[in-house]
Amino acid sequence: MKITDNALKILKKRYLAPGETWEDLCDRVAHKVAGDEASEKARTAWKKHYKKLMLNLDFLPNSPTLRNFGRNQGCGSACFVLPLEDSRKSIFKTLADAVDVQAYGGGTGMSFSRLRPKGDRVNSTGGKASGPVSFMKIFDITIGDVIQQGGTRSGANMGVLRIDHPDIEEFINAKKQEGKLKNFNLSVGITDAFMNAVEKNQHYDLVFNDEVYKTLAARDVWDTIVAGAWRNGEPGIVFLDTINRNHPLKPLGAIEATNPCGEQPLLPYSSCNLGAINLAQMIKGPWVTGQAEIDWEKLRKTIQLAVRFLDSVISVNNYPIPEIEAMTRKTRQIGLGIMGFADMCIKLHLRYGSIESIKLAKDIMSFIYQTADATSIELGQEKGAAPVYEEYDFANSKRRNSTLTTVAPTGTLSLIANCSSGCEPNFAFNYTKECLEGEKLDMMPAVVQEWHAKNEDKTLPEYFVTMQDVSIEQHVMVQASLQTSGVDSGVSKTINAPYTTDKKEVSGAFFQAWKTGCKGITFYRDGSRDRQALYTDVGETEGKTEDTLRRGELKHRPRATTGPSLKMKTACGKLYVDPHFDGDSVVEVFIRTVGGGCAANTKALGVLISYCLRAGISLEKIIRSMKSIHCPACTKAISAGKDVEVNSCAAGMGKGLEIAMQNADMWREVARRIEDADIYFNGSMNSETKNTSCPDCGAMIRRAEGCMVCANAECGWTRC
C-alpha cells in the first residue's frame, strides 16, 4: 500500500530514523521481532511475513514498537500499570518507576485508592496526610512536564480512585478547572454497589481501612461525576466489578487500574503490547458498487501472524524495570485489536450504529478472538505456555498468552494506515487535524476519495456516517457488542456528543454502559473545552483582563485598526478575509467573496464573528469551530483535485484568523502605534498641525497625500 503524504509527515516526525523510509522501518521492526525464532531459516521466513504485513498496512503494532525496535534500546510496549501503597517509600518508588516507563515510551496507570485520605494522621511523624490528589499533582509535574514519552511527547497517565474513597469528591472535581492535572486522565472506580445505590436513590459510605469516614447520597455524587463529564470530559469511569468478574488472571489478585486510555486493565507491574488489524483491508470485491464482502481467509491469516508477532515482542523486548519484565514474561499478555471498523461498515454499505453494524462488530470480534485463541494454543505447544499457568490453577493452561484481545484508540496508527480510528466512527469526511506538536494535517478518508473517484458529482450516500450522525445509544451499543463478544481486556471508546447534549443523556449513557457489560466509558461533548487534545497549556491567566466584560458588554473598538488581507480559493470563487487588530488581539474581521458564493452571508458572518471577538469569546475556539465546518461543494472539488484551498467559506475564515495570529505581535504593535498617534491627534490636532510631533522620532508632522506623515525622511512614520 502507498503511504500518504500525511502518513509520511507523521513518520518523519516521530518514527523514522534519519534517512529512513517506510520500507526501511518495516524491515528493522520485522528483523527485531523475528529474532525470537530459534533458527536462522525461521528468522528469515518470519521476517518476510512480518515486513509484508506492516508494509501493506494490514496490521500495525503500537507506536513504541514502530519507533524503537531495531533503532534503540527503547521498550516496544505501550501499556503499564504500577502499584501504589500507602507509604512515602512506595509512593516515590512508583514515581521513579513511572519516570523510567515514560522515558521508555510507555504510559502508566495507577490507582490512588490505597493512599490515606487528606487530613489523616501519619503515625510515624505525627503529621497529617495530604491525600491522593496532592500526590497526583507531584506525579503530573514530574512525569508530564519533565519527562517525555520516548523523547517525543509529554507523559500520559491514568489516575483511578475508588468511588468509596473518602477523598472522592476532591478527586471528581480535580480537573474542574481546565489545565489542572493536564498529563492525567482521571477515572472513577465504580462498583456495582454504588450503581445500585444510585438507582435506588440510597446513601453509601466512604471507607478507608474498614473505617467509615462519611455517608453521602449516591445520586448526588453521581450527578457530580456526570456534571464533570458533561463539562469537559473529566472524569471517565471504570466499572471495577465488571472488570474483575471477567478478569483472565483472577488467581493473581484484583485489578484496580488501567492504562491511560482505559482499554487495558492490568495488575501491578503488568504491561501489554498492542497491535491493530486494519479491517478496511479485510474486504474483497468492488465495494463502491455494493459487491464487496469480508475476506475471512485473509483476516484469519492476518490474525495468526499478528498473534505470533505480538507474542515475540514480549521475548525480544527491552523493559524499563525488572519487576515489569518479570511480570510480563510470566503472564505474556498481548492486546490484538482493530482499526478501520467504520470504513469496513462503509465498504459493506452498512450504517455505523445500525443493528446490522452492531452484529458485524460482534461477528468480527468473535472471529478474531476465536482465531487468536487457537493460534495462542498452537504457540503454547510450540514454544511453551505462559509460565503463570504453571504457578496457579487455571482452567485454560495451554495458551501461550494469558490475554489476547483489546480495542485501543489507534489514533496515530490509523493516520499511518489511512483508515478510521479503532472502533470509532469517522470524525468527518473533510477536516483539519492538529497533532504532533502543532502539525496540521488536512484529512480526507480514503473511502471518501475512492467514492468520489467513481461518483464525482454525487453526494455521499446515507451509510457514510460521521461522529455527528451517531446517537449516544449507538455509541454504547457498538462498544458493548465488541466488549462482550471477543475482548478479554477492554475497549477504548469515547462518546463524542454534540455540544447541545444535556446531562441527563450523559447519565443515561453511563448507565447503559454498565448494564450492557462495558468495562469503562468516556464522554466528550464537542466544544466543551477551550483547549482540546494536543493544545499547549499557556496558563490560567492568559486572555484575562483586569476589567472583565460583563454579560452583553462589547469591548471598545478603537477608531483605527489594522491587519492583513488574505485571499483564498473556494469552490465558489475567491474568498477575502481581513482580520483587524487593536493593541491586544483581533477585534474584528471583514469577509467578502468574489466570483461566486453568497456575499450577504459572508458579510453577515464577519459581523457576527466581530461581535464574538469583542464580546470576549476565545479566539482559539472561534478558529476551531470555523475550521470544523465543511461544505459539499468544497469537499467534491478537493476530492476531484481542483485548486481549492479550504473546506468551506467558514473554514477559510478560521484559517485567515489563524494565519493572522502567526504575526500577532507585529500587528498588535502596529495597532498600538496607530492608537497612540490617534490619541495624540485627537488631543492636539483639531485645528492646526504645526504643534504636533512624530510619536517615533519627535520630528514635525506634516500632511501629505491625504495622510499625516513624519517630516523626517529617515524615520518613515505614517498614520496611514
Domain boundaries, the chain: 5-73+276-445, 79-244, 566-666, 687-720
- Please give the Cα distance from 660 to 564 (Å, whole number): 7
State the DSSP string of 32-96: HHHTTSSSHHHHHHHHHHHHHHHHTTSEEE-HHHHHHTTTSS--S--EEEE---SSHHHHHHHHH
Amino acid present at 228: G
Check whether 612 has a pLDDT greater than 80.
Answer: yes
- From the candidates 256, 263, 424, 505, which is the catalytic residue? 263
pLDDT computed for residue 506 by the predictor: 95
**Which of the residue ranges 23-37, 634-648, 659-673 has the most confident prediction, judged by mean pLDDT?**
23-37
More confident residue, 675 or 290: 290
Sign of CA dihedral 84, 90, 95, 98: negative
Q: What is the mean pLDDT of residues 576-601?
A: 85
pLDDT computed for residue 187 by the predictor: 97
Confidence (pTM) = 0.76
Asked if residue 235 has a cis previous peptide bond (ω within 30° of 0), the answer is yes
* Model confidence band, residue 683 (pLDDT cutoffs 50, 70, 90): very low
Catalytic residue list contains 259: yes
Is CATH 3.20.70.20 what the domain over 5-73+276-445 is classified as, yes or no? yes
Q: What is the mean pLDDT of residues 201-215?
A: 97
Residue with cell 474513597: 165
State the DSSP string of 283-323: EES-GGGT--EE-HHHHHHHHHHHHHHHHHHHHH---SSHH
- From the candidates 79, 261, 419, 518, which is the catalytic residue? 261
* Mean pLDDT taken over the chain: 87
- From the candidates 68, 232, 259, 418, which is the catalytic residue? 259
Catalytic residue list contains 263: yes
Q: Report the Cα 635 to chain-centroid distance in Å.
A: 25
Asked whether 203 and 218 are in contact (CB, 8 A), the reply is yes
Catalytic residue list contains 293: no
Q: What angle do CA 472, 478, 481 make, to 5 degrees?
A: 135
**Which of the residue ranges 369-378, 615-624, 628-637 has the most confident prediction, judged by mean pLDDT?**
369-378
Q: What is the mean pLDDT of residues 604-614?
A: 87
Residue with cell 444510585: 198
Q: What is the mean pLDDT of residues 232-239?
A: 94
- Please give the Cα distance from 16 to 657 (Å, whole number): 33
Each residue's pLDDT tens digit, 2-24:
899 889 999 998 899 999 999 99
